[in-house]
């Protein structure tokens, strides 16, 4: 098999892959190739036809396809090589990439690689809902594709399990299309997605929201006919006697997203068990030298704008690596999640350039303070696990981290 030598290979042409490839090219990498298994560029954005994209990055309110279009056009202007309908089957630590394409199996040897494979949805199977196996049970993302891309309505009476953003957005979408959303059922005492989606997609349409409830049974033989829901206790176990039956012809699940890291594992990239994505440095480099990562493959972002910014860092880092411009190893500071901090990305930082940290809390809180050692504090009125927190650390703040410090703890504490 003939092997094609390139500077930077980008796996995935969603917003992460497009932003990373553009940045790599702008930073000076000559041969940049995006490899995408779908027949079009843009990743999941082409099925997200609602607005709300780009508010941070462009200060404009765009739909998913409009947001993607800006990057697709730029990538084309820069003459970035695009390999569509090409599935990456294998990736090695030596950065050999095997793809299956219309021309058959092909291999690339890249100086640097950017992982941008996004994430996939958890399914009914993974949360093990008891009951029969009728038609009419879909993930919310599959239903989104049916409605927005293929032009099919999955059903007329819908129950949505889980209050992730995709599920809430589909509650509104299906209502607008004439279906009746009977209930959104969430096991936690709070919603799983953004507050703006709770307000604009659930409350504004008077859709019943059952917090601290779950689906305990799926009923129906050929097609789903009803679900049983029940209140749960503190251990998320259904409370006997609280069951009620809701008739429906469709159940959508919106119960979490899983970063797609099977290829990363093949290359020996170390994964963070909390995020499900690679451990990354402040250049978004993984544990394997020259393999970088950006977007939902690293951690599930709430806003595509953050996916873009983070992936631009990966693109710049990959270009530098491919051109042999790596800076001598300076200080490496590990970030540790302390009180009520579930995770932080990146996992390690240097002290020589400004950095944006993304983090999530474990539990909701009010009147809290984010504290990073003695270097940074920020007061916040409300924090929720579903809303990503962003902190920019300036060079001055980084300079205040003591020379001997190898690790710094970030906490989210109650204000006195
Ligand atoms: C089902 C679903 C629906 C969503 N809907 C919304 C929404 O309505 N609103 C919102 O704000 N956010 C939504 N999101 C979040 C949105 O996906 C992200 O903001 C953004 O698309 C993430 O960008 P990404 O580039 O990291 O991943 P993606 O957009 O998922 O792009 C990853 C790309 O990698 C490709 N790929 C993966 N593996 C391979 C491989 N082995 N070989 C070649 N190509 C590969 C995929 O085909 C895909 O094009 C949704 C997410 C999911 C999973």
CATH assignment of the domain containing 302:
3.50.50.60
Instruction: Please indicate whether residue 119, judged by its CB atom, sits closer than 6 Å to ligand 1.
Output: yes
81 and 103 share one domain? yes
Instruction: Please indicate whether residue 295, judged by its CB atom, sits closer than 6 Å to ligand 1.
Output: yes
Euclidean distance between CA atoms 291 and 88, whole angstroms: 15
229 and 149 share one domain? yes
Instruction: Please indicate whether residue 117, judged by its CB atom, sits closer than 6 Å to ligand 1.
Output: yes
Is residue 175 domain-resident? Answer: yes
Instruction: Please indicate whether residue 166, judged by its CB atom, sits closer than 6 Å to ligand 1.
Output: yes
Instruction: Please indicate whether residue 302, judged by its CB atom, sits closer than 6 Å to ligand 1.
Output: no
- Give the Cα-Cα-Cα angle 20, 23, 29 (nearest 5 degrees): 105
Centre of ligand 1 to C-alpha 132, Å, is: 30
Centre of ligand 1 to C-alpha 380, Å, is: 30
pLDDT for 168: 95
Domain C-terminal end among 322, 351, 378: 322
Instruction: Please indicate whether residue 260, judged by its CB atom, sits closer than 6 Å to ligand 1.
Output: yes
Please state the domain count of the chain: 3
**For a pocket test of ligand 1, which of 9, 11, 12, 150 has the largest count of ligand atoms closer than 8 A to its C-beta?**
12
Residues forming a β-bridge with 10: 34, 114
Torsion of CA 288, 294, 299, 304, to 10 degrees: 180
185 and 206 share one domain? yes
Element (H, E) at 64: helix 64-77
Is residue 265 domain-resident? Answer: yes
Instruction: Please indicate whether residue 144, judged by its CB atom, sits closer than 6 Å to ligand 1.
Output: yes
- Distances from the Cα of 167 to the Cαs of 30, 65, 136, 249, 326, in angstroms? 41, 19, 15, 16, 43
pLDDT for 403: 67
What would the pLDDT profile of 322-360 be if each residue is shown by its tens digit? 999 977 666 789 999 999 999 999 999 988 889 999 999
Euclidean distance between CA atoms 410 and 281, whole angstroms: 16
Centre of ligand 1 to C-alpha 108, Å, is: 23
Going by the DSSP 8-state scheme, the letter that residue 146 receives in this structure is I
Domain coverage including residue 371: 333-414
Instruction: Please indicate whether residue 304, judged by its CB atom, sits closer than 6 Å to ligand 1.
Output: yes
pLDDT for 404: 62
Centre of ligand 1 to C-alpha 145, Å, is: 12
What would the pLDDT profile of 294-307 be if each residue is shown by its tens digit? 999 999 998 999 99
**For a pocket test of ligand 1, which of 17, 118, 387 has the largest count of ligand atoms closer than 8 A to its C-beta?**
118
64 and 22 share one domain? yes
Is residue 327 domain-resident? Answer: no
107 and 147 share one domain? no
Is residue 328 domain-resident? Answer: no
Contact 340, 387 (CB under 8 A): no
Residues forming a β-bridge with 355: 393
- Can you tell me which atom of ligand 1 is nearest the CA of 297? 26
114 and 26 share one domain? yes
166 and 219 share one domain? yes
368 and 348 share one domain? yes
Instruction: Please indicate whether residue 95, judged by its CB atom, sits closer than 6 Å to ligand 1.
Output: no
305 and 342 share one domain? no
Instruction: Please indicate whether residue 9, judged by its CB atom, sits closer than 6 Å to ligand 1.
Output: no
Instruction: Please indicate whether residue 48, judged by its CB atom, sits closer than 6 Å to ligand 1.
Output: yes
pTM summary value: 0.94
* H, E, C per residue of 95-106: CEEEEEECCEEE
Domain C-terminal end among 231, 255, 279: 255
Is residue 289 domain-resident? Answer: yes
Question: Which residue owns the Cα nearest ligand 1 atom 16?
Answer: 44
Q: Which residues contact 264 (CB under 8 A, 6 or more apart)?
A: 91, 115, 271, 278, 286, 291, 293, 297
Centre of ligand 1 to C-alpha 45, Å, is: 7
143 and 156 share one domain? yes
* Residue ranges for the chain with pLDDT beneath 70: 1, 124, 126-127, 328-330, 402-405
pLDDT for 328: 65
Is residue 26 domain-resident? Answer: yes
Is residue 162 domain-resident? Answer: yes
Euclidean distance between CA atoms 26 and 23, whole angstroms: 5
Instruction: Please indicate whether residue 19, judged by its CB atom, sits closer than 6 Å to ligand 1.
Output: no
135 and 228 share one domain? yes
Is residue 15 domain-resident? Answer: yes
Domain C-terminal end among 239, 255, 271: 255
**For a pocket test of ligand 1, which of 14, 193, 194 has the largest count of ligand atoms closer than 8 A to its C-beta?**
14
**DSSP string across 282-318:** TT-B-SSTTEEE-GGGTS--S-HHHHHHHHHHHHHHH
Contact 10, 35 (CB under 8 A): yes
Instruction: Please indicate whether residue 314, judged by its CB atom, sits closer than 6 Å to ligand 1.
Output: no
Contact 235, 142 (CB under 8 A): no
Provide the edge-to-edge strand list for the sheet that holds 348-349. 348-349, 333-337, 407-414, 365-372, 376-383
268 and 231 share one domain? no
């Amino acid at each position: 098999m003939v092997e094609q030598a390139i500077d930077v290979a980008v796996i995935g042409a969603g917003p992460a892959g497009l932003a990373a490839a553009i940045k790599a090219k702008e930073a000076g990498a000559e041969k940049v190739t995006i490899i995408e298994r779908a027949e079009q560029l843009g990743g999941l954005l082409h099925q997200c036809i609602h607005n709300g994209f780009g508010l941070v990055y462009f200060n404009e309110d765009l739909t998913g396809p409009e947001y993607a279009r800006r990057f697709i056009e730029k990538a084309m202007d820069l003459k970035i090589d695009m390999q569509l309908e090409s599935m990456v089957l294998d990736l090695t630590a030596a950065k050999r990439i095997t793809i299956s394409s219309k021309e058959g199996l092909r291999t690339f040897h890249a100086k640097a690689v950017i992982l941008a494979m996004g994430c996939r949805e958890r399914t009914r199977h993974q949360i093990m809902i008891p009951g029969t196996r009728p038609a009419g049970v879909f993930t919310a993302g599959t239903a989104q594709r049916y409605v927005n891309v293929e032009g099919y309505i999955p059903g007329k009476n819908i129950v949505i399990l889980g209050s992730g953003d995709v599920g809430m957005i589909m509650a509104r979408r299906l209502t607008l299309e004439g279906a009746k959303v009977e209930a959104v059922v969430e096991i936690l005492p709070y919603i799983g997605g953004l507050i703006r989606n709770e307000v604009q997609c659930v409350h504004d349409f008077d859709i019943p929201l059952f917090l601290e409830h779950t689906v305990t049974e799926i009923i129906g033989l050929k097609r789903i006919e009803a679900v049983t829901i029940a209140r749960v206790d503190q251990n998320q176990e259904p409370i006997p006697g609280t069951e009620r039956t809701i008739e429906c012809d469709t159940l959508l699940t919106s119960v979490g997203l899983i970063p797609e890291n099977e290829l990363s594992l093949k290359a020996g990239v170390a994964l963070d068990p909390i995020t499900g994505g690679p451990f990354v440095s402040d250049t978004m480099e993984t544990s394997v030298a020259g393999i970088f990562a950006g977007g939902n493959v690293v951690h599930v972002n709430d806003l595509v704008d953050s996916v873009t910014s983070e992936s631009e860092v990966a693109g710049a880092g990959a270009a530098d690596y491919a051109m042999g411009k790596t800076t001598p190893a300076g200080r490496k500071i590990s970030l540790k999640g302390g009180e009520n901090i579930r995770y932080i990305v990146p996992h390690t930082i240097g002290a020589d350039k400004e950095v944006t940290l993304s983090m999530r809390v474990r539990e909701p809180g009010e009147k809290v303070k984010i504290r990073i050692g003695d270097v940074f504090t920020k007061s916040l009125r409300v924090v929720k696990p579903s809303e990503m927190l962003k902190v920019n650390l300036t060079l001055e703040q980084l300079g205040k981290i003591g020379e001997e410090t190898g690790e710094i703890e970030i906490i989210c504490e109650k204000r006195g």
